[in-house]
Each structure stands twice: as structure tokens, then as C-alpha cells.
Amino acid sequence: MRAALLASLLILAAPPARAEEMIRVAVRTGVARTMLAGEGLRVAPAVVGSEGQTEAQPEGRPVGRGKVEVRAGDGAGELIVDGRRWTGGAAAFTSERNIRSDGRELSRWVEVRRMRSGLAVVEVLPMEDYVAGVVSGETPLTFPPEARRAQAVAARTFALVRKLEAVSAGRGWDLGATVVSQVFVGAGAADAGARDAAAATAGQVLVLDQEPVETYFHSSCGGRTEDGLAALGRGYEYLSGVECGHCDGAPGSLWRQLIPADELGRAAGLGRAATSVEVVERTATGRAARVELAAGKRRVTLTGTDLRQRLGWSRLRSLAFEVESVKEGFAFAGKGSGHGAGLCQWGAAGFAREGKGYREILAHYYPGTEIVVMY
């Protein structure tokens, strides 16, 4: 069923001269209003079919004079477009040149969708432009080309899987633009090397048994990647932990973070400053699986992932840490950055510098998978 649905999604929108795989990226959500600016702005109903397909870029009618305000209306599914009521829940805006939304340059096709919490601003663009924007956002310019190509295939595969999920969920976009999905800087901001990586791997997707896999990735693993079940609750064979040993040069590969006792107590829901913190269970790779925190006689046990989320992903860079009580609070000393499952980005760069190609790199971090050209 899933494979059949995927086949139906491979051409989401097709201009007459050349078929292109398209992707919908929510660049902003939950906002009360947005300003759109573009040359020759036009508006049309934004319609997504039952299988996630739309027609080619909508023609629409002229709206505004190069600039238009869109805000949430009072009724369910209602927008106010250029001062006029717009029903149906979504409007598609097109322009002769790229559209700017609240200072951010997007593609020539932008949809504004009404949500319960406000508006979602959704950029619609060709998949390869999107992939270039992700490669630019997720990897430094200094990465070897083969490492960036590995990232391009992982990013494209991740996007296609999310696209399948969006159809099942009836969502008006495929994925977001932040670290929760993939960091997307925008197609217009992609560097030349990122565009080359997308073009060199165009249409290539990682699969297992002919279905796209969940290509999670992270910055650096600290020596060995984590099992997908332990890191993300995803017990897939291709997310089994593997030896890396090539990410030692990653920024902050060894880190130390001081967290005040009162902050830890609040994060754990103890009501006051924590008096002790102890890792009571570790995964097979040595990462914190469960952490016990106490404030006097009151104790609580959190999963490592829950604690990291409560404190902030950037505050606790990974779960490969030791913790000790110090005068100022608690000192966490760790290695690596990110959840640790799947592709280690800095490890990929290390393998590439040794002459490994992107296919070898991906096969190492996602064992059992293969690359196929899907469109």
C-alpha cells in the first residue's frame, strides 16, 4: 500500500515542459498575519488532492500591487486577503519572481493555510531546490563534496518519507524548516556546492525492500552511532549502531555544560533546586537512557531524551555524558552532538577525506539499504 502511494506521489506538480518532484515546506506556523511581496502577485485556491497531488502552478487572478497582507479571519477556515474574506482554508500565491514573506525570500509559489492556531506560510518548490537548501543549512562549506552528496541523498529520502506521512495525516505541508525536521535555509540561500550535491544525486533515494527509509542524521556521534530504538524509538535494522571513529574533529566534540541546580529542579518538575543527579541506566553505546533527579526526599526518573528536551537540545548536546555535583550546580561532561542515530555528518566528512564515496558512506551508516533513482 505504502509503495503504491509513493508511486502516485512521485510527480506532485508538473509544468507542461518538464515534470518535477515538488515539496511543501512550512516556513512559519501559528502566526496571526503575514505580508507577501512579489512582482505580479496572483492568488488562487490552494487545493491538495486525496493523494497529495495538485495541478501545475495555479494561474490565479491579480491581487494587491506587488504586496498583500494575509491574516486569519474570524470564521473557521477563513482568511482575510488584501482586506477581503477568503474561504476554503487556503490560498495559493504566485509571482513572476521569488516571493518575499516577512523579509524571507521564498519561491515563486507560496501557500497560506488557516490553522486553529493561526496561519501557516508554506513554500512550494522543486525537490532538488529544497535539497540544496537543506545541504547548505546542515553542512559547512568546508565539507568534502562526497559528504555533502551523502547529505543530499539523506535529506531527499527524509523529505519523501515525510511527504507520505503528510498525505496520511491530511496535512497541508510535508515538513518544516527547522532542526525538528531538517534545517532549510531557503533555495535562494543555497551555496554552489550544495546545489552541485543536489544535482549530482538528483532523484536518488535510500530504500530497503523498495521503500524509502527514515534517514535520521545528527552532527557528531562521538565514536559510535546510537541504535535507532534507543535514540528515537525507531527499531529499524538500518538504524542499528555502527562504529564511526571519524568525527573527532567536529566542533565541540568534547563538551562541558554547567547547569544550575534550580534549573534542573524546575526542568524535572521537582519544585525546587535539585540536590542530586545520577544516570541510573545507559544504552549499549554508553548514552544516558534514564536519569534520576532528586530534591531532598523527592525523586523523579526521566528518560535521557526527555531530560535533554526539557533542558533544550543545545544546552545538553548529546546523551553521551557523565554528570557531577559542583559548587555552582551540576556539570555535564560529554561527547558528540545530537541524538546519535543514522548518518553522523562529521563522520561522513571524515570518511570522505579518506577517499570514500557517498554511496559507501551511506551504506556504512544505514546498513542494508541501497540507492535507487525514484524520479
Q: What b/e string do you get for 141-153 counting C-beta neighbours within 10 Å, with b at 16 or more?
A: eebbebbbbbbbb
214 and 354 co-located in one domain? yes
105 and 221 co-located in one domain? no
> Following CA atoms 104, 106, 109, 114 in sequence, which dihedral angle do they give, to the nearest 10 degrees?
-40
User: Averaging pLDDT over each range in 56-60, 95-99, 167-171, 339-343, which range is the top one?
Assistant: 339-343
pLDDT number for residue 14 = 34
Q: Which of 32-46, 164-178, 266-280, 301-315 has the lowest mean pLDDT?
A: 164-178
Per-residue pLDDT tens for 132-163? Answer: 999 999 999 999 999 999 999 999 999 999 99
**Helix, strand, or coil here: 112?**
strand
pLDDT number for residue 4 = 46
Q: Which of 91, 125, 159 is the last residue of a domain?
A: 125
In terms of residue numbers, what domain contains 348? 128-248+339-373
The H or E element that residue 333 is part of is: strand 329-335
What gap in Å lies between CA 176 and CA 338, rounded to an integer? Answer: 18
Report residue 249 as a C-alpha cell: 574533529
Does 349 reside within a domain?
Answer: yes
Q: How many domains does the chain have?
A: 3
114 and 94 co-located in one domain? yes
Does 98 reside within a domain?
Answer: yes
User: pLDDT tier at 11 (50, 70, 90 boundaries)?
Assistant: very low
pLDDT number for residue 19 = 56
Q: Which of 125, 142, 172 is the last residue of a domain?
A: 125
User: Average pLDDT, whole number, for the chain?
Assistant: 90
pLDDT number for residue 48 = 58
227 and 360 co-located in one domain? yes
Cβ–Cβ < 8 Å for 145, 193: yes
Per-residue pLDDT tens for 249-266? Answer: 899 889 999 999 999 999
Does 110 reside within a domain?
Answer: yes
Q: What's the distance, Cα to Cα, between the start and end of the chain in Å? A: 19
The full length of the chain comes to: 375
- Tell me: pLDDT of 328 over 50: yes
Does 195 reside within a domain?
Answer: yes
343 and 322 co-located in one domain? no
297 and 321 co-located in one domain? yes
- Tell me: pLDDT of 12 over 60: no
- Tell me: pLDDT of 15 over 50: no
Q: Which of 75, 94, 125 is the last residue of a domain?
A: 125
> What mean pLDDT comes out for the span 79-107?
92
pLDDT number for residue 170 = 75
- Which residue do the cell numbers 515546506 mark? 25
pLDDT number for residue 6 = 55
Does 83 reside within a domain?
Answer: yes
What global pTM score does this model have?
0.89
Does 19 reside within a domain?
Answer: no
Per-residue pLDDT tens for 232-248? Answer: 999 999 999 999 999 99
166 and 205 co-located in one domain? yes
Contacts of 98 (CB under 8 A, 6+ apart): 38, 105, 106, 107, 108, 188
211 and 274 co-located in one domain? no
Cβ–Cβ < 8 Å for 290, 303: yes
61 and 103 co-located in one domain? yes
For the beta sheet containing 211-212, the strands, ordered from the edge strand earlier in sequence to the opposite edge, are 211-212, 204-208, 370-373
DSSP letters spanning 208-267: ETTEE----EESB-TTBPPPHHHHHS---GGG---B----TTSTTSEEEEEE-HHHHHHH
8 and 93 co-located in one domain? yes
> What mean pLDDT comes out for the span 165-177?
84
354 and 214 co-located in one domain? yes
Report residue 189 as a C-alpha cell: 540561500
> What mean pLDDT comes out for the span 46-51?
60
- Tell me: pLDDT of 17 over 60: no
Does 329 reside within a domain?
Answer: yes
For the beta sheet containing 298-303, the strands, ordered from the edge strand earlier in sequence to the opposite edge, are 276-282, 288-295, 298-303
User: pLDDT tier at 56 (50, 70, 90 boundaries)?
Assistant: low
Q: Chain centroid to CA 335: how far? A: 22
Does 58 reside within a domain?
Answer: yes
167 and 99 co-located in one domain? no
User: Averaging pLDDT over each range in 43-47, 85-89, 146-150, 168-172, which range is the top one?
Assistant: 146-150
Per-residue pLDDT tens for 336-373? Answer: 999 999 999 999 999 999 999 999 999 999 999 999 99
